[in-house]
Structure 1
Amino acid sequence: MENILLIAVLLICTITDIKSRKILNIVTLPAILIGFIYYFSTNGLDGILFSGKGFLVGFGVLFIPFAMGGIGAGDVKLLAAIGAMKGAFFVIYAFLYAAIVGGLIALFILIHRNELKGFLVRIINSVFFLTFSKSKDSIQVSKSDLAPSFPYGVSIALGTIAMLFMEGTI
């Protein structure tokens, strides 16, 4: 039952992220609450701990990228909701699969836009500058120096679906 709800949440978040680049609180916050309520009603205090650990792990793995401005708050809340609904073990692997999918999507976008060579040159120049420069205080990174931006909720959804397949629940 929780897998059907999880797939519905992922589908809604994927659509809204693609259309408006937003993952809505009206979807993620009830999903978090439902995860806590479900596990509390089925397993009591152990269920709250299970859901709570999953929530904290899901929130924690994306908090630093969010704090650095590389990812949106909706992505963090979506992964936290996945953790609350499926637990810490599940959300760690879903995150790893999402990272792989996200990297492949970014690579595809770079190749499609013929920007791969320029991106690699910027990376090599940055590494060279960081390695041999005496003054590291004046390093400025702009958004154009980073990989292309895309709705990361898509990667999170695909990574989560991959994990559902791996655990044999789909």
Structure 2
Amino acid sequence: MTATNVTSLPVAQKSVDDGTIDRAFVLQMAQVPFIAAILVFCAWIGHTVWASVASPNSSLMNHGPIIVVCLGMILAAIIDGWAFKVPNWLTLSLVVSGWVLGGLHDLNMSFDAGRGGFGSALIGTGIGFICLFPMLAIGGMGQGDVKMQMGFGSWIGAFYGYQEAIPMVFYAFAAGAIVGGVFALVMMALRRNIHKNLSNFKEIGTDLKVLVTHGPSKAAERANERRSSWVRLPYGVPLCVGFLGYLTYLYMTNAMPTWTVG
């Protein structure tokens, strides 16, 4: 009898991308509606507390809900400073809760003095994204920081309306960018590698030029070649300082937007 040669079949290798769902991500997304609802409730608390402690003769409008988004920015900055990452459960909840506040204003179901609608909240969210998109496109900033800015824009748009929100979100971002630049210079000085990092600033300018002329993928590819030499910064911290600093400036100079609440 002739022996039959049996050729073993190759064992199927498990693909790294096997199509499985990221359980942690799904759980975070499931939390977003509930946390957003809590933030909206906190906005009502903020409005109520402001009304109870404000002087009856005060000409300043009730900005209680804005205190809530400021606290959200502080929490995001603390987490970013600790873990170099801002979680989706916080940033996306801020975005969604801002949309909900705007929607309540549109339906005349609001409990606060805000006048921006759902559309204004979307515009504020979009302005927040646009401000940081160039740095996101070249990989110079994380998605969490961008979503943090979008959450701020969402609430500012929902409360003040898009006409006030557009310059407010932009100037708050500009203040954060200045603070971030100062932070970076201080860290470079402490590490005694100012010359090397200043050359990186020049390269970032070239990356942004490539972004405009050749698109995001080419700019990101060019930037990634220098990633090993980058100084890692928790950008959520200077963004938060910029947000709070700009709002404080408006408050101290009596330049906060105001209107008659009927």
Give your verdict on TM over 0.5: yes
Check if 1:39 corresponds to 2:117.
no
Matched residue SS, 2:135: helix
Deviation at 1:117, TM superposition (A): 2.8
Counterpart among 142, 148, 152 of residue 226 in structure 2: 142
Distance 1:117 1:36, change over 3 A: same
1:115 match: 193
Q: Distance in 1 between matches of 2:202 and 2:135?
A: 22
Deviation at 1:39, TM superposition (A): 2.1
Q: Which has the larger radius of gyration?
A: 2
| Number of equivalences | 158
Q: Distance in 1 between matches of 2:175 and 2:141?
A: 17
Distance 1:103 1:121, change over 3 A: closer
Alignment RMSD (CA, Å): 2.6
Matched residue SS, 1:151: coil
Q: Residues 20-62 of structure 1, C-alpha deviation per residue, up to 9 Å, x if partnerless? A: 1110111111111111111222245961121111100101111
Deviates more, 1:40-49 or 1:24-33: 40-49
Check if 1:57 corresponds to 2:135.
no
Listed as ranges, the matches of 1:18-167 within 5 Å are 18-44=81-107, 47-87=117-157, 88-120=166-198, 141-146=225-230, 148-167=231-250
Distance 1:53 1:117, change over 3 A: same
What is the identity, as a one-letter code, of the residue corresponding to 1:111? A
TM-score (norm: length of structure 2): 0.54
TM-score (norm: length of structure 1): 0.81
> Which stretches in structure 2 are left out of the alignment for 5+ residues?
1-63, 109-115, 158-165, 206-221, 257-262
Distance 1:7 1:72, change over 3 A: same
Q: Distance in 2 between matches of 1:50 and 1:27?
A: 21
Q: Distance in 2 between matches of 1:29 and 1:125?
A: 32
Sequence identity percentage: 28
Q: Distance in 2 between matches of 1:36 and 1:125?
A: 38
Moved over 6 A (4+): 122-127
Deviates more, 1:41-50 or 1:111-120: 41-50
Contact kept in structure 1, 2:127 and 2:153, CA below 8 Å: yes
Q: Residues 104-147 of structure 1, C-alpha deviation per residue, up to 9 Å, x if partnerless? A: 000000111111133346667999xxxxxxxxxxx77412555x
Matched residue SS, 1:110: helix
Check if 1:11 corresponds to 2:89.
no
Contact kept in structure 2, 1:17 and 1:151, CA below 8 Å: yes
What is the identity, as a one-letter code, of the residue corresponding to 1:157? C
What is the identity, as a one-letter code, of the residue corresponding to 2:145? D
Distance 1:121 1:86, change over 3 A: closer
Contact kept in structure 1, 2:73 and 2:152, CA below 8 Å: no
